[in-house]
């Protein structure tokens, strides 16, 4: 087990090294930040001094080696625009993105499981047909279009919900959170719904498929033969057995929701990591872009590593294959 763990850690470190090179070269190729950050009225000397101060006068390989050296010490660079640590700038936005991702995931489970359960138990009813048709719409409709429609409907037409921003926040565990205030919850409603639509559709289909498979199992037939009530059969014997794959997929998808909340945060002016990366791309703030992408790579590497370790603990065959 120790050798397997060491091998997986070595693979994770190799992935991080390769991705750091790809990210750094990719960001280096998308333009020259000097053209945006330095005033057109600046003299040649002022322009040269600014380039030297930002470290952009060095060859790309030298900049990359300097970046790697700082990265090993936990420093991913300073923002060209804000002149503060890029990592600190991103971590300040993490709570906003995190509460949006967690709230949308909880909404997906709360809405998707009952709807999927009903669609699986009564597959030929008109309600089930409508639910499955709605799930296809959830997969198909682009989130930016849904976001605009929600704003037009609930903010412009009815005037019920604010169209953007985070609203009033409150401190908890050293960070500011919107879900602790009524105004913050009103601001969260539409971004959370927009982010949750795809996940709701996914949970509906996973739950329905699981119910259709489990409902024909021998232990369910045996439970009916014993005379158990239908509610006990559904909630104890069916629902418990279909929850493992649902929770697994939703948990793995949480990383994707956090990483790709960019569109939703931009549409609703939600001050999270997604909006920060869009603003940084607009001004070519390279340290922030690189730090964000490396943080996302690290998050997916850690999630996959934990999943592999969990499989090794749960399935003895994985342990045997690793020897």
pLDDT tens per residue across span 242-287: 887 787 788 778 778 887 788 888 899 888 888 888 888 888 888 8
User: Among 97, 91, 32, which Cα is nearest to 60's?
Assistant: 32
Q: How far is the C-alpha of 250 from the C-alpha of 300, rounded, in Å? A: 14
Give the DSSP per-residue string, 4-70: HHHHHHHHHHHHHHHHHHHHHHHHHTS--THHHHS-TT--HHHHHHHHHHHTTTS-HHHHHHHHHHH
Contact 131, 118 (CB under 8 A): yes
pLDDT of 152 strictly over 90? yes
When mean pLDDT is compared across 1-15, 101-115, 117-131, 169-183, the lowest value belongs to 1-15
- Cα–Cα distance measured from residue 147 to residue 163, given in angstroms and rounded to the nearest whole number: 10
Asked if 322 and 312 count as a contact pair (C-beta separation under 8 A), the reply is yes
Which pLDDT score is estimated for 319? 58
Distances (CA, A) of 253 to 192, 223, 261: 15, 34, 12
The angle that helices 182-214 and 126-140 make with each other, rounded to 10 degrees, is: 120
Whole-number Å distance between alpha carbons of 179 and 99: 8
Can you tell me whether residue 85 is helix, strand or coil? strand
Query: What pLDDT, on the 0 to 100 scale, is given for residue 323?
Result: 55
195 close to 261: Cβ distance less than 8 angstroms: yes
> What value does the mean pLDDT of the chain take?
84
Q: Say what the pLDDT of residue 321 is.
A: 56
Tens of pLDDT, residues 275-319: 888 888 888 888 888 888 888 888 888 877 777 777 666 566 655
CA proximity to 280, closest of 291, 270, 296, 269: 291
DSSP 78: B
Find residue 237's DSSP bridge partners. Answer: none
What torsion, rounded to 10 degrees, do the Cα atoms 274, 276, 278, 281 define?
-140
Q: What pLDDT digit, counting tens, does each position of 192-242 carry?
A: 999 999 999 999 999 999 999 888 888 888 888 888 888 888 888 888 888
Mean pLDDT is lowest, of 96-100, 101-105, 302-306, for 302-306
The pTM for the full model equals 0.78
Tell me how far apart the alpha carbons of residues 111 and 204 are, in angstroms, rounded to a whole number.
Answer: 8
H helix intervals, 122-235: 126-140, 143-150, 182-214, 218-225, 230-232
Q: Would you give the DSSP letter of residue 158?
A: S
Phi, then psi, of 166 in degrees rounded to 5: -105, -10
Query: Can you tell me whether residue 171 is helix, strand or coil?
Result: strand
């Amino acid at each position: 087990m120790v050798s397997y763990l060491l091998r997986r850690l070595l693979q994770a470190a190799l992935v991080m090294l390769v991705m750091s090179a790809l990210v750094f070269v990719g960001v280096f190729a998308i333009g020259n930040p000097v053209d945006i950050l330095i005033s057109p009225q600046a003299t040649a000397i002022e322009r040269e001094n600014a380039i030297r101060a930002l470290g952009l006068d060095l060859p790309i390989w030298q900049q990359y080696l300097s970046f790697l050296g700082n990265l090993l010490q936990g420093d991913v660079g300073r923002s060209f625009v804000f002149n503060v640590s890029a990592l600190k700038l991103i971590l300040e936005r993490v709570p906003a993105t995190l509460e949006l991702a967690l709230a949308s995931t909880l909404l997906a489970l709360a809405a998707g499981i009952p709807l999927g359960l009903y669609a699986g138990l009564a597959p030929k009813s008109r309600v089930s047909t409508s639910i499955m048709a709605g799930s296809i719409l959830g997969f198909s409709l682009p989130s930016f279009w849904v976001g605009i429609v929600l704003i037009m409907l609930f903010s412009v037409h009815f005037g019920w919900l604010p169209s953007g921003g985070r609203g009033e926040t409150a401190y908890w565990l050293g960070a500011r959170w919107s879900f602790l205030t009524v105004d913050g919850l009103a601001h969260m409603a539409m971004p959370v719904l927009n982010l949750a639509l795809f996940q709701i559709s996914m949970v509906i289909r996973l739950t329905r498929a699981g119910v259709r498979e489990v409902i024909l199992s021998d232990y369910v037939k045996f439970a009916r033969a014993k005379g158990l009530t239908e509610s006990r059969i559904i909630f104890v014997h069916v629902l418990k057995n279909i929850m493992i794959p649902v929770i697994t997929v939703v948990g793995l998808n949480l990383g994707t929701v956090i990483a790709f909340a960019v569109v939703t945060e931009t549409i609703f002016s939600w001050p999270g990591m997604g909006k920060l990366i869009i603003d940084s791309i607009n001004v070519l703030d390279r340290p922030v872009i690189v730090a964000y992408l490396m943080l996302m790579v690290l998050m997916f590497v850690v999630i996959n590593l934990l999943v592999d370790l969990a499989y090794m603990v749960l399935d003895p065959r994985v342990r045997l294959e690793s020897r």
